[in-house]
A and B are shown apart, each in its own frame.
Chain A
Amino acid sequence: MSYIQLKNVNKFYNKNTNAEVHALKNVNLEINKGEMVAIEGVSGSGKSTLLHILGCLDLKIDGQYYLNKECIDKKTHKQLAVIRNKRIGFVLQQFGLINENTVVQNVSIPLLLGDIGLKYIKHECLSVLKELNISELADRKVSQISGGQKQRVAIARALVNKPEIILADEPTGALDRKTSNGVMELLKKINKQGKTVIIVTHDKEVSKLCSKTLRIEDGHLVNY
């Protein structure tokens, strides 16, 4: 069995109303551990919905979702929160950082929501910032750093809890080409360290760097 598996997944919004939207249609998906996968699709095709499901953010679905042979779609909110915290790291196009906080405060959030002792948190954060060569930003406010630096901070936050999967939603969407290349190199490096990386993108250049590309069109997963 694959590391990540979706079986006959359908996702509806406003089900049984006039505004019903069938966002994902009978999606079957298998991703192995350590793969770097791109999910391509135009706006409104359902790729973000798929990412929300894979990231355990929205599991009101018809069908089954298995993560490392474990059925995820029947878990409680509390159990899903633990999965998001321990096993998944998120990198977003808009970074999702708290601008008024410092870099180290932002990176520390996943640890703060876990069970690591408070006194070890700063040390863990600094070590991941060092690994990504941004330790000099530790005490700067997020509002004072550049877009590329923000994305590196977001990646540091995604990595700090040592998750198995990195989910990236258009990670280069808000960056120029040079900075994008830097971010993609970083994601590739993370993938080489054994982490499964799933990138939702509409950028062909990004897809080319991945070992597998899936395409989603009008809720259907194609060329799979």
Chain B
Amino acid sequence: MIGRIIYIGLNKLKRDIWARIFICVQLVLIIYLFNLTIGMWRHETYILNMVNTMNLKNAYYCSNDFESFDSTNTVSIGEITQAFGKLKNQNKTTLKIKVYDEEITKNITLPLSKGIWFEEYNGKELPIILSNSYAKKYNLDINDTIELELQYSTEDINVQESFDVECKVIGTLNKANYHLTFSSMGNYLIWKNLFKQDESVALIGSSSISAEPLSGKMVFLKNLDDDSTVLLDKLGKLSSITSSQQITKNSKEVMSDKLKTQIIMWFLILALTLASLTSNNMLEKIYEEKEFAAYYMLGLDWSKCVLIEIFRGVIQILFSFVIAFILLKLLHGDSNYKTLIIDGYSYLLSIIMVFCVYMISSLWMIIELLRTNPIVLIRRNE
């Protein structure tokens, strides 16, 4: 019987092909818009989710650099230095190199798509983690050894130092290419100020490379006790200090403002979907009711009529989805993970959303079929 339902459903689709094409155009636009909105929102929440997995409860960001500070057993201070690197003797894109010291690599683990974090590495060569895009672009994989020509400015900005290092690729960042970096920023600190995206970045885990230090430090408390409170007070006098909890709070505030705008957009998209599909179903009502009533009279029970309607909906939704998928890939493939995140979950969510709305828009017709005698429906719609 399923075969017959598919056969009837396909015949119904074939009959009003132009009307179906216009419905598909509406669905394509809706799936496209929905994915775009969801993708933008997921990109916004990505950093916060990433930070949540890092367990940065006792981490603080100090905005100003300070010459020295007596670290004790209760506190450790992490620094990042910066250099530029080129693959030796190869004319390839210059890499921005971030050198994480031991305290950073010990307390912060960035999400990787492949390989291991610095803390797990115990080889002799200098470990390097490449950005996902760079590794893909130049076909570099974990366990590859690369020779880098490093360049950085010294304190005297006019003097450039350079030297060659051999590094072992131990991992690649995940698709979003987020990495920790410090840059000058205001007092209202959010995680987006600290975690940046870059397609041509590489991280080196080393405390022995003295490249150009970035202004700012991360302070990690080992225990939250009286000693550490005193130390934080001391640090507060040297620099503007913000706790990770405060940064999270700020980030959530910024996101909640954005969410308010996006909720309106989501609502509009849903309303648009529902209105367009319902209006279409209303226009088709006369034909559909009569046709299903005829099928019922001639030996099809209502559940199968509903199945035909669902099948027809599924075909249209899937067809529209394929077109929307191609459009999203063509128009936003390059932006994926840079300004928005569209992946399997977004696609699935958009299909479920459109399917639910499609079914809701068909529901009243199904209810009408269930509660009215088919001959009455035929008479009414003749």
Contacts and interface: CB of A to CB of B under 8 A. Distances in A.
Interface string B261-300: 0000000000000000000000000010011011111111
Interface string A81-117: 1101110001011111110110001000110111000
A77 B304 CA distance: 11
A77 B301 contact: yes
Nearest to A169: B375
Contacts of B290: 96, 98
A111 to B, nearest CB: 10
30 contacts: A48-B375, A51-B375, A52-B373, A57-B296, A57-B297, A58-B373, A77-B301, A81-B299, A81-B300, A84-B298, A84-B299, A85-B299, A90-B375, A92-B375, A92-B378, A92-B379, A96-B290, A96-B293, A96-B375, A97-B294, A98-B290, A100-B15, A100-B287, A105-B11, A109-B294, A109-B295, A112-B7, A113-B295, A118-B7, A157-B298
Contacts, number: 74
A80 B301 contact: yes
A112 B3 CA distance: 10
A15 interface: no
Interface of A: 48, 51-52, 55, 57-58, 77-78, 80-82, 84-86, 90, 92-98, 100-101, 105, 109-110, 112-114, 118, 157, 169
A140 to B, nearest CB: 15
B305 to A, nearest CB: 10
Given A48-B375, A118-B7, A98 B291 contact: yes
B302 interface: yes
Contacts of B374: 57
Nearest to B302: A77
A57 B300 CA distance: 11
Contacts of A52: 373, 375
Given A96-B378, A101-B15, A113 B297 contact: no
B8 A90 contact: no
Given A109-B294, A112-B7, A78 B375 contact: no
